[in-house]
Structure 1
Amino acid sequence: MIMASVSARHLWNSAIGIGAIAMLGLSVQAQARTEIAPYIEVQQVLDFDLSNNDAFGDDVVTYTSVAAGVDASVSTRRIEVGASYRYERRIGWGDDIADDDVHSGLVRARANVTRGLSFEAGALAARARAEIGGDGLGSLTGDNDNSTQIYSVYGGPTLSTHAGPLEIGAGYRIGYTHVEDNLAANSDPTQAPVDYVDHTTYHQATASVGMSPGEMLPFGWIVSGGYEREDASQLDQRYEAYYGRVDVTVPVTPTLALVGGVGYEDIEISQRDVVVDAAGNPVLDNNGRFQTDPNSPRLLAYNVDEVIYDAGILWRPNPRLELSARVGHRYDTTIYNGYLSYQASTSSTVQAAVYNEISSFGRGTTNTLAGLPTSFTVGRNGFSQFNGCAFGEGGDAGGCFDTGFQSLNAANFRSRGGSLVWTGGRGPWSYGLGAGYQNRRYLAPTTSANFSLDRVTDEAFSLQANLGRQLSPNSSLDGSLYATWFESGIPGEADVFSSGGSATYSVGLYRGLSAQASAGLFANDVEGEEADWLATLLFGVRYGF
């Protein structure tokens, strides 16, 4: 969903320039606090197949869940950490649901090493369906062979310092993303086989020097440059990009500035050929992934080196509202980017973005993770599953992953879309909303296989909503809703619409012991097929230390 939204803001801020940010920026002092809440939990879950089409085996199946987790928030003068992690062991009754291990959660951390030097890191564990257009992070209690675990981790230093009036910045980030074996990948012989992500390693380095408006000149300026490289295990795929640019900020009023920049960029994406059989069909390994021909030359999927430029406005009429918008030339076409942030109150924030970039599953996941705040609340449905969103606090609304998780293709793609995150609360109420749209046009070379993803376009829309109310000092009621829509451009692939919702009642019993009851209804509707309807009930107890 918001997969590109938070990464878009990161890229947007780097493009706007130090001068504009310094002119309209705010400084927020965090209050020191440490909250660490580990727990153990036992649950009994019942699934009811309401569609009677044998998608889940018997009409009623059940499993027992034994889980351990921790929610933590640490904020001191030097360290900020937000964490929500849960490990769950699912023990099936009978043969309809196999025993399974599920890891889910987020960690974001920042450490101020010395004055101007900090180190940031983050980690993600989530679950998604393996097939294209699966219901993402909705209900994953039934068809275990069709789900997979996703892991991502990143870290790196950031430098922000001064040399007289000059403002100097630099940063480095390394990220690693892994998708576990997809047992259901490419298992349908009527559909064209598509390669799936295994693991990727991503490097990003940036540097800049500039000056704020009014320091020595009436306008601000910044010279910046960067290098990116991602290596993917599938087909020895490589993404490599260099850029350098100059940006200026011209204040028009105390709250409005004109911004613009020009530079040069070089992007190249390449891979090796795929092993095929005599009919030109890719030879798959035991996990449904393509196999690489190590003796083949590198094949070019995308290559552009050109002058890039853009211009726009930066408007901040008050400390709670910020709007930036630009139009320019990049990726050999006209691009539009924008970002809006509005803090309606101390507990309510809305953020929206329009983005346009070259991305991949690995880079997009890493950048979304890096764009999350260190203080957040992980959205979970009533069955303790991470629903794809992390809602922030104060001036940062957070972000979501689920639109990106609807397609685990290994190919790079041109990504265009928009996103919205709204989070907040008032009195006993708390809420979070995330929505996004993404259009992906894949970039792939001509290979020996009889089908290529090159120029294939898919579209994804997703919506997540959480609502909670504290009923009493020891009881609460929480609900969540989601809807996802996916249209694949691959011949033979059908549109998929998934939706669902759940409600959970929790009550404290005695000294850390609490009980909960949850009910949920989920649907997965594949075009041309009968919709799958699944109802789920849960009863559990938790002990918090």
Structure 2
Amino acid sequence: MRTSFVTLRRTTALAALLLAGTATVAHAQWSGDAGPGSDAPGAADAAAQDGPRDGSRRSEDRRQRKIEVSPYLEVGQILSADLKNGGDVLTYTMLAAGVDAAIVTRRAEVAASLRYEHRISEAGGQGDSDAISGIARGRIEVAQGFNIEGGALATRTRADGGGGANIFGGGTNSADLYSVYAGPTFARRIGNLDVGAGYRFGYTKVDIDTPNVVTPGIPRGSSFDSSTNHVAWASVGQRPGELPFGWQVSGGYEREDASQLDQRFEGKYARADVTVPIGPTVALLGGVGYEDIEIGQRDPLLDANGVPVVDSNGRFVTDKTQPRQLAFDTDGLIWDAGVMWRPSRRTSLTARVGRRYGDTIYTGSFAYRPDHATMLQVGVYDGMSSFGRGLSRGLAALPTQFDPTRNPIDGSIDPCVFGQDGGGCLTPQLGSTTAIQYRNRGVQALLSSRYGRWSYGVGIGYDQRRLLVPATSVIAALDGTKDESYYLFMTAARELDADSSLGFSGFVNYFDNGAPGAADVQSAGISASYSRRLWRNLTGNASAALNAFDQDGFNNQLIGSAFVGLRYAF
């Protein structure tokens, strides 16, 4: 009799966890499965790991109250040399000011790192330059079940297909990237119903320093400019108990307006889902609904020779006299079915197959926590996306507590972050600053752990974009183009003693440009750093790095860099 009771309790708990997690991320049915960190383990899996929750509290048993805000000033000397092309040896004096913050209270969680850096050109330099970089993610509980969430990213990238490569001011095709999102979320159990709702506003801007030169394989004029996006969703459901299955009804709306070619994405959905426990650790999932998606854009202005006109930043000039044409249009029935396996609180697996966007889709996630210090996440995603919406979703999928790491030479934010509740890599979003909307598929895996004095993290993934352009557009040749990215990022650190530490990092990126006659791009780098406290809050730092960049048939670089500096933390 007791065995039956335990089995029933585990079965009911499994379904409750599924519905609780689904209620907190109902918007994932609309756009959250369209990029890494969406159907990739993130908020949904965190909900499953934490157990049933109504949004009114965060488990205090898993965290201790912490308020750490560390502003600092830094000065250093940088040496950089092109080891392959016989380039000049460049030296800079670096001045920087920044702040790192990690805040955990009963009603708030914030993780942030912000830095301003100024370089004074010396021997062989290309002029003084400035950069602002940072990443932040936070949540504030305003009332029971009602939160305000937000995130932001500022980094340096490239304005062409080599996006994601570390670059400081003055480089070819360099650009500043800014992205921010914010909005309220509500998740609470009211009576015997789980109620959820939310809204998210996002803004992304790419500010080009040096216009895109005519680079083989890079579509002229296709660099992203700016966009705003809005997402709203709501859901209501019931856990198994009164009924032998759980159910949920949800709906959502999303819109994005992009400045480049006056693009517009607009979509809405409504659906019903059921969760049917078939054992103490297994449940079947199923859903059916309706969605309507339209993506449109205007043509670029043509010159007297019928060639698209580009502005001073190398972007298409929009022809406002032309009507907006549809690049993608679908409406009708959608469905998916799948299975959830949860043998313990440390392990969960979800897999789904369905029909959306007029095509078959496959999504899923896996999360495994063998101990308190180790986390493995794998996510498979498939959906509609863009550069702006992808960054907003990527930021929203990051945990509210993580350890941001930076490149030890240029101070830029590393593309992957790791924390106690997992992490995420923004490498796919930064891989190419294309202005074109696209269908997005891929897989991402992350592993983070601590062992003794060592801590490390690994992020690896594959991302595919199929560009969507109106069939009658003057740039219709880009329609159906598939860009593919493969990426690997690794970081490790060791505390040598109470005053000193070592750090290592490395990355490999491969961008397969699908445009006719395109040039593929490969980049890789390794770095090592040493830090030692010299006196109270004064720390000495020394770093060395080697970075390679190869654009097939066009540009090859092997850059060696070194840095020595002092940091004073307040």
The answer to whether the superposition gives a TM-score over 0.5 is yes
Cα 1:27/1:34, change in 2 over 3 Å? closer
Kindly state the Cα deviation for residue 51 of structure 1 after the two structures are TM-superposed.
0.7
Q: Indicate the residue corresponding to 1:329 in structure 2.
A: 355
**Amino acid across the alignment from 2:175:** T
Decide which of 32, 35, 45 is 1:4's aligned counterpart: 35
Kindly state the Cα deviation for residue 481 of structure 1 after the two structures are TM-superposed.
0.3
Q: Indicate the residue corresponding to 1:97 in structure 2.
A: 126
- 2-structure distance, mates of 1:253, 1:67: 57
Decide which of 218, 230, 234 is 2:256's aligned counterpart: 230
- 1-structure distance, mates of 2:122, 2:369: 48
Q: Could you report, residue by residue, the CA deviation over 1:217-274 in whole angstroms, capped at 9, with x for unpaired residues?
A: 0100000000000111111110001001000000111221100100011100011121
Q: Indicate the residue corresponding to 2:485 in structure 1.
A: 460
1:144 aligns with 2:177: no
RMSD over equivalenced CA pairs, Å: 2.4
Kindly state the Cα deviation for residue 161 of structure 1 after the two structures are TM-superposed.
2.2
Q: Could you report, residue by residue, the CA deviation over 1:181-205 in whole angstroms, capped at 9, with x for unpaired residues?
A: 2523253488541421111101000
Q: How does 1:357-372 map to 2 (within 5 A)?
A: 357-372=383-398
- 2-structure distance, mates of 1:21, 1:35: 28
Q: Indicate the residue corresponding to 1:28 in structure 2.
A: 59
1:84 aligns with 2:113: yes
Q: Indicate the residue corresponding to 1:177 in structure 2.
A: 204
Q: Indicate the residue corresponding to 2:14 in structure 1.
A: none
Kindly state the Cα deviation for residue 177 of structure 1 after the two structures are TM-superposed.
0.7
* Runs (5+) with no aligned partner, structure 2: 1-32
* Greater displacement, 521-530 / 248-257: 521-530
Q: How does 1:461-480 map to 2 (within 5 A)?
A: 461-480=486-505
Q: How does 1:433-512 map to 2 (within 5 A)?
A: 433-446=458-471, 449=474, 452-512=477-537
- 1-structure distance, mates of 2:534, 2:185: 46
Q: Indicate the residue corresponding to 1:400 in structure 2.
A: 425
Please tell me whether the aligned partners of residues 377 and 390 of structure 1 are also in contact (alpha carbons under 8 angstroms): yes
Decide which of 158, 171, 178 is 1:129's aligned counterpart: 158
Kindly state the Cα deviation for residue 450 of structure 1 after the two structures are TM-superposed.
5.3
Q: What SS is found at the alignment partner of 1:283?
A: coil
Cα 1:450/1:341, change in 2 over 3 Å? closer
Q: Indicate the residue corresponding to 1:255 in structure 2.
A: 281
- 2-structure distance, mates of 1:420, 1:490: 28
- 1-structure distance, mates of 2:509, 2:367: 24
Q: What SS is found at the alignment partner of 2:39?
A: helix
- 1-structure distance, mates of 2:325, 2:504: 49
Q: Could you report, residue by residue, the CA deviation over 1:481-531 in whole angstroms, capped at 9, with x for unpaired residues?
A: 000001111122211111010000011000111111101101012223463
- 2-structure distance, mates of 1:17, 1:297: 45
1:109 aligns with 2:138: yes
Kindly state the Cα deviation for residue 95 of structure 1 after the two structures are TM-superposed.
5.8
Please tell me whether the aligned partners of residues 135 and 413 of structure 2 are also in contact (alpha carbons under 8 angstroms): no
**Amino acid across the alignment from 2:382:** N
Please tell me whether the aligned partners of residues 280 and 448 of structure 1 are also in contact (alpha carbons under 8 angstroms): no
- 1-structure distance, mates of 2:168, 2:41: 35
* Greater displacement, 27-36 / 515-524: 27-36
- 2-structure distance, mates of 1:277, 1:352: 48
- 2-structure distance, mates of 1:419, 1:107: 21
Q: Indicate the residue corresponding to 2:180 in structure 1.
A: 153
Kindly state the Cα deviation for residue 452 of structure 1 after the two structures are TM-superposed.
3.5
Q: Could you report, residue by residue, the CA deviation over 1:80-104 in whole angstroms, capped at 9, with x for unpaired residues?
A: 1111111111121256333221111
Q: Indicate the residue corresponding to 2:26 in structure 1.
A: none
Q: What SS is found at the alignment partner of 1:459?
A: strand
1:239 aligns with 2:265: yes
Q: Could you report, residue by residue, the CA deviation over 1:337-359 in whole angstroms, capped at 9, with x for unpaired residues?
A: 01011112111101110110100
1:119 aligns with 2:119: no
1:303 aligns with 2:329: yes
Kindly state the Cα deviation for residue 397 of structure 1 after the two structures are TM-superposed.
1.6
Please tell me whether the aligned partners of residues 39 and 542 of structure 1 are also in contact (alpha carbons under 8 angstroms): yes
- 1-structure distance, mates of 2:131, 2:169: 13
Q: Indicate the residue corresponding to 2:3 in structure 1.
A: none
1:273 aligns with 2:333: no
Cα 1:446/1:70, change in 2 over 3 Å? same
Q: Could you report, residue by residue, the CA deviation over 1:23-66 in whole angstroms, capped at 9, with x for unpaired residues?
A: 9x99732321101111010111101111126xxxx421111111
Please tell me whether the aligned partners of residues 186 and 194 of structure 1 are also in contact (alpha carbons under 8 angstroms): no
1:540 aligns with 2:565: yes
Please tell me whether the aligned partners of residues 310 and 316 of structure 2 are also in contact (alpha carbons under 8 angstroms): yes
Please tell me whether the aligned partners of residues 445 and 452 of structure 1 are also in contact (alpha carbons under 8 angstroms): no
1:45 aligns with 2:75: no
Kindly state the Cα deviation for residue 173 of structure 1 after the two structures are TM-superposed.
0.6
Please tell me whether the aligned partners of residues 435 and 462 of structure 1 are also in contact (alpha carbons under 8 angstroms): yes
- 2-structure distance, mates of 1:188, 1:494: 8
Cα 1:27/1:86, change in 2 over 3 Å? closer
- 1-structure distance, mates of 2:246, 2:178: 40
Q: What SS is found at the alignment partner of 1:377?
A: coil
* Runs (5+) with no aligned partner, structure 1: none
Q: Indicate the residue corresponding to 2:290 in structure 1.
A: 264
1:521 aligns with 2:546: yes
Q: Indicate the residue corresponding to 1:390 in structure 2.
A: 417
**Amino acid across the alignment from 2:460:** A
Q: Indicate the residue corresponding to 1:320 in structure 2.
A: 346
- 2-structure distance, mates of 1:450, 1:75: 50
Q: What SS is found at the alignment partner of 2:393?
A: helix
* Greater displacement, 467-476 / 189-198: 189-198
Q: Indicate the residue corresponding to 1:341 in structure 2.
A: 367
- 2-structure distance, mates of 1:451, 1:332: 20
Decide which of 394, 419, 424 is 2:449's aligned counterpart: 424
**Amino acid across the alignment from 1:443:** L
Cα 1:236/1:484, change in 2 over 3 Å? same
Q: TM-score, normalised by structure 2?
A: 0.89
* Greater displacement, 521-530 / 124-133: 521-530
Decide which of 234, 251, 257 is 1:207's aligned counterpart: 234
- 2-structure distance, mates of 1:78, 1:21: 19
- 2-structure distance, mates of 1:511, 1:112: 36
Q: Could you report, residue by residue, the CA deviation over 1:458-497 in whole angstroms, capped at 9, with x for unpaired residues?
A: 1001111001000010100000000000111112221111
**Amino acid across the alignment from 1:85:** L
**Amino acid across the alignment from 1:173:** R
Cα 1:13/1:507, change in 2 over 3 Å? closer
Kindly state the Cα deviation for residue 142 of structure 1 after the two structures are TM-superposed.
7.8
Q: Indicate the residue corresponding to 1:65 in structure 2.
A: 94
Please tell me whether the aligned partners of residues 488 and 494 of structure 1 are also in contact (alpha carbons under 8 angstroms): yes
* Greater displacement, 529-538 / 199-208: 529-538
Cα 1:369/1:313, change in 2 over 3 Å? same
